[in-house]
A = this chain, B = another copy of it.
Amino acid sequence: MSLPHAILTALMEKPSSGLELTRRFDRSIGYFWSATHQQIYRELGKLETGGLIRALPAEQPARGQKKAYEVLPAGRAELARWTAAAQDPKPMRDVMLLRLRAAAVVGTAGLEADLRRHLELHEQQLAEYREIERRDFPPGKDGPEDRLRHLVLRAGIDLETFWTQWLRRALTDFPDMPAPEGL
């Protein structure tokens, strides 16, 4: 149940409409909590009903017209409560690791190409993160909020670094292992 809190965080940073939120989820926040616009609109509705946010007064609310939301005190309190509450880490779920495990029983045919493709994708993501770091966290910019956000970004950088290294290693000692023929 984290999407509402992701939205509250984004709205605290800056009151926004659904579409603006969607765009920001495609960039910063979405890097570690992705969401589609449908999810966001649905959740905005629930948050408004629940009294955690409210629509900023607009001339006439109508379809196809921007409607911006801001966080109410109750929403802020809920976000603080959630942030402090203990939560267990979710067990990892990774398809590529599962596919490698499957390859150990049905053969590696066809897998190598996708490993290369993933390596490229992770390299791109890593480059993007590094660019953000260069742009948004120049030396000296280190207020408490910056320190926290930088820490989050560094997790992204280190994770992508891990994947690129692991994928390179996988490609290096990849056994050429066609599917065993008998059933």
Q: Answer yes or no: A60 CB below 8 A from chain B CBs.
A: no
Q: A84-B110, A158-B166, A166-B155 are known contacts. Are A95 and B148 too (CB-CB below 8 A)?
A: no
Minimum C-beta distance from A74 to chain B (A): 11
Provide the bound-state CA to CA distance between A122 and B145, in Å.
26
Do most interface residues of chain A lie in helix, strand or loop, or is the interface mixed? helix
Q: Answer yes or no: A100 CB below 8 A from chain B CBs.
A: yes
Task: Determine if B101 and A82 form an interchain contact, defined as CB atoms under 8 angstroms apart.
Answer: no
Task: Determine if A105 and B12 form an interchain contact, defined as CB atoms under 8 angstroms apart.
Answer: yes
Which interface class (under 10, 10 to 19, 20 to 34, 35 or more) fits A?
Answer: 35 or more
Count this chain's copies in the assembly: 2
Task: Determine if A111 and B93 form an interchain contact, defined as CB atoms under 8 angstroms apart.
Answer: no
Provide the bound-state CA to CA distance between A107 and B145, in Å.
9
Q: Answer yes or no: A127 CB below 8 A from chain B CBs.
A: no
Minimum C-beta distance from A172 to chain B (A): 10
Task: Determine if A111 and B84 form an interchain contact, defined as CB atoms under 8 angstroms apart.
Answer: yes
Complex contacts, A19 vs chain B, CB 8 Å:
none
Q: Answer yes or no: A134 CB below 8 A from chain B CBs.
A: no
Complex contacts, A113 vs chain B, CB 8 Å:
86
Q: Answer yes or no: A159 CB below 8 A from chain B CBs.
A: yes
Q: A2-B95, A106-B76, A183-B73 are known contacts. Are A152 and B101 too (CB-CB below 8 A)?
A: yes
Complex contacts, A13 vs chain B, CB 8 Å:
105
Task: Determine if A110 and B83 form an interchain contact, defined as CB atoms under 8 angstroms apart.
Answer: yes
- Going nearest first, the 7 A-B pairs with the smallest beta carbon separation are A84-B110, A144-B175, A104-B148, A34-B91, A80-B106, A32-B97, A104-B145
